[in-house]
Amino acid sequence: MSCGVCRSPGCSAQLAYGEQLRRIEREEGRIPLTRLAVTTTRIPLRPEVVNSSRRRRSRRLWQVLPRLKLLPSSTITVTATSLSPAFPNECAERGKKTKWSSNKTVDVTTLGNLCVDIVLNVPQLPPASVEEKFTYMKRLVAAPPDESYWEGGGNCNLTIAGARLGLHCVTLGHVGNEKFGHFLHRVLENEGIEHVDIQEEDNSPIGDDDYDGSTLLCWVLVDPSHQHAFCSRFDFNKSPAFSRIKQLPAGAKSVIQKSKALFVNGFAFDELAPSVVLDAMMCAQEAGCAVAFDPGPRAHTLFRSNVHNRNILEQLLCLCDILLLTADEAEVLTGMADPLASATALLSRGKLSKWVVLKLGADGCLIATSEGIYGAPAFKVDVVDTVGCGDSFAAAVMLGYNMRVSVPITTTIALANAVGAATAMGQGAGRNVASAAKVTDILSGIQQQRGKDSEEHLSISSFGTIMPDASPVKPFSIPMHTAAHDALNLLNVTLNKSHSSEMLV
């Protein structure tokens, strides 16, 4: 009998279902499904109320099958009988290296976008004209404020939030040997984040003649109405800041190969040539390191510029496992104003995409996967500043993706929303992003809402556009207090694991 996916007579699709399941869990780190037939099995929602054998079965069903309908009696009805697992390792990508091998010692590595933010309150935001804005920035550079106005910026936001969630984070990027660079090194070291420079050991120039190799600065300007504007040399560069870097040094590639996930955002193109960014992402894929891409505002500039840049963007979309973006950015890439439609379109468009994550601001978020669309509203908190919320949110998404074998997506969403909300309660980003204590307070508060009529729910719905052969599945929802409880447990596990690792070192 040949495999129903790749038609190979020797494929492991001929194995018994139990052996298939264990094999995919071990080698691929996920349970991909293409079809469900209908029969009903009822299992308790909370596995701790059953004996050990049923607990194992409950957890297995929770991980493998889409969650379909929440019943009033706090149970989940799972409809499934015959399963037709997809075999990406065995069929679509024969010979590709295992996704999560034992040599992965780094949880998340970020590429580029290291800078010092200088946060200033201004009576009005800078002018829109390029010439006037350049003159405005020159005045700022001529008289920078003292260190009390400085903060770690760019990918520092994600790595600091990730480190506070218990992740081992490494930043790949350039930091200069002057007061701003020394400050950034102190910030990263104090947060337990490693930095690996992308400059060659011989300290050869990395940029054009007008670039002295100093740490990049970004001026974060806030007007009396709390509107933000950003001003940096990136706004005036005709070529990437590090234009002489043609490939990543061996040390940087070694870090990627040891990482579970590589995070790249659109600002990487302000520093590095597109070929260098693509090379880093291909290095990650070859090493079994998941790639996350957040185009950010550069989605507009890349997509709406020349054909070459649009082709680069398409390559990036094809190489990423996780795509993170706002609803506006998704609309730019798809032409679809409906977030659900744009998310499913992007998922089908990316050859390797597992998750498409849409950040919806005050409306929360949604994650589109091959099993369905998962969504939840944002937590209600007193918002002080939204700078860094998306980066903090992304750190929690990376944590959930790394642990997706045992952690439901609903748990990841609850944790990510809580981390984003905790950051919004503070002023500025960098060291002001979410702390574990703030996240714990938010999740604990949600848990206390159990039984209240006004309680929010996480919603899950399936769709047939990604997998036309999939049987229709009814939408369902999970009480937010349940997801918050699981997210709090996940946070405690990662923090305890991180503390244990530090004790061993």
Q: What pLDDT digit, counting tens, does each position of 438-465 carry?
A: 999 999 988 776 655 445 666 665 433 3
- Retrieve residue 87's tokens: 């075999």
Residue 165's pLDDT band, with cuts at 50, 70 and 90, is very high
**pLDDT (0 to 100) of residue 185:** 96
Arithmetic mean of pLDDT, 85-106: 46
* pLDDT: which is higher, 397 or 200: 397
Arithmetic mean of pLDDT, 24-37: 39
Say how far apart CA 399 and CA 30 lie, in whole Å: 15
Arithmetic mean of pLDDT, 193-216: 82
Instruction: Look at strands 69-70 and 114-121 and give their pairing.
Output: unpaired
Sheet of strand 75-79: strand arrangement: 40-44, 75-79, 69-70
**Residue 501: is its pLDDT beyond 80?**
no
Which of 77-91, 132-146, 365-379, 408-422 is the most confident on average?
Answer: 408-422
Helix (H) or strand (E) holding 395: helix 389-402
Contacts of 186 (CB under 8 A, 6+ apart): none
**Residue 79: is its pLDDT beyond 90?**
no
**pLDDT (0 to 100) of residue 458:** 67
Query: Domain 106-504 in CATH: superfamily?
Result: Ribokinase (3.40.1190.20)
Percent of the chain with pLDDT over 70: 71
- Retrieve residue 460's tokens: 């899950």
**Residue 238: is its pLDDT beyond 80?**
no
Other CB atoms within 10 Å distance of the CB of residue 69: 15
The predicted-structure confidence for 167-183, as pLDDT tens digits, reads as follows: 999 999 999 999 999 99
The predicted-structure confidence for 300-326, as pLDDT tens digits, reads as follows: 777 767 777 788 888 888 889 999 999
**pLDDT (0 to 100) of residue 412:** 94
**pLDDT (0 to 100) of residue 385:** 83
**Residue 239: is its pLDDT beyond 60?**
yes
Q: How far is CA 53 from CA 39, 48, 60, 163, in A?
A: 21, 11, 11, 36
Say how far apart CA 392 and CA 430 lie, in whole Å: 10
* One-character DSSP codes across 126-165: PPSSHHHHHHHHHHHHHS---GGGEEEEETHHHHHHHHHT
**pLDDT (0 to 100) of residue 431:** 94
**pLDDT (0 to 100) of residue 213:** 83
Q: 196 forms bridges with which residues in the sheet? A: 172
| Chain mean pLDDT for the chain | 75
Residue 28's pLDDT band, with cuts at 50, 70 and 90, is very low
**pLDDT (0 to 100) of residue 442:** 93
Residue 468's pLDDT band, with cuts at 50, 70 and 90, is very low
Q: How far is CA 34 from CA 5, 29, 88, 441, in A?
A: 10, 16, 12, 39
**pLDDT (0 to 100) of residue 231:** 84
**Length reported for the chain:** 505
The predicted-structure confidence for 96-106, as pLDDT tens digits, reads as follows: 333 444 588 99
**Residue 298: is its pLDDT beyond 90?**
no
Arithmetic mean of pLDDT, 113-134: 87
The predicted-structure confidence for 246-256, as pLDDT tens digits, reads as follows: 889 899 999 99
* pLDDT: which is higher, 86 or 371: 371
Strand residue runs (E) in 355-468 = 355-359, 365-368, 373-376, 457-461
The predicted-structure confidence for 356-411, as pLDDT tens digits, reads as follows: 999 998 888 999 998 888 888 888 899 888 888 999 999 999 999 999 988 999 99
User: What letter does residue 91 receive in the DSSP assignment?
Assistant: I
Phi/psi of residue 489, each to 5°? -60, -40
**Residue 16: is its pLDDT beyond 80?**
no
Ranges 25-29, 31-35, 202-206: which has the least confidence:
31-35
What are the residue ranges of helices labelled H in 175-273?
Answer: 179-190, 250-257, 268-271
Say how far apart CA 429 and CA 117 lie, in whole Å: 9
Nearest to 233 by CA among 110, 125, 130, 150: 130
482: left (phi over 0), alpha (psi -120 to 50) or beta: alpha
For the chain, the structural domain boundaries read: 15-92, 106-504
The predicted-structure confidence for 47-62, as pLDDT tens digits, reads as follows: 333 333 333 333 333 3
Q: Which residue has the tokens 């998310």?
A: 343
Please give the torsion angle defined by the CA atoms of residues 51, 53, 57 and 62, in that order, rounded to the nearest 10 degrees: 40
- Retrieve residue 266's tokens: 């659109």
Nearest to 107 by CA among 161, 146, 147: 161
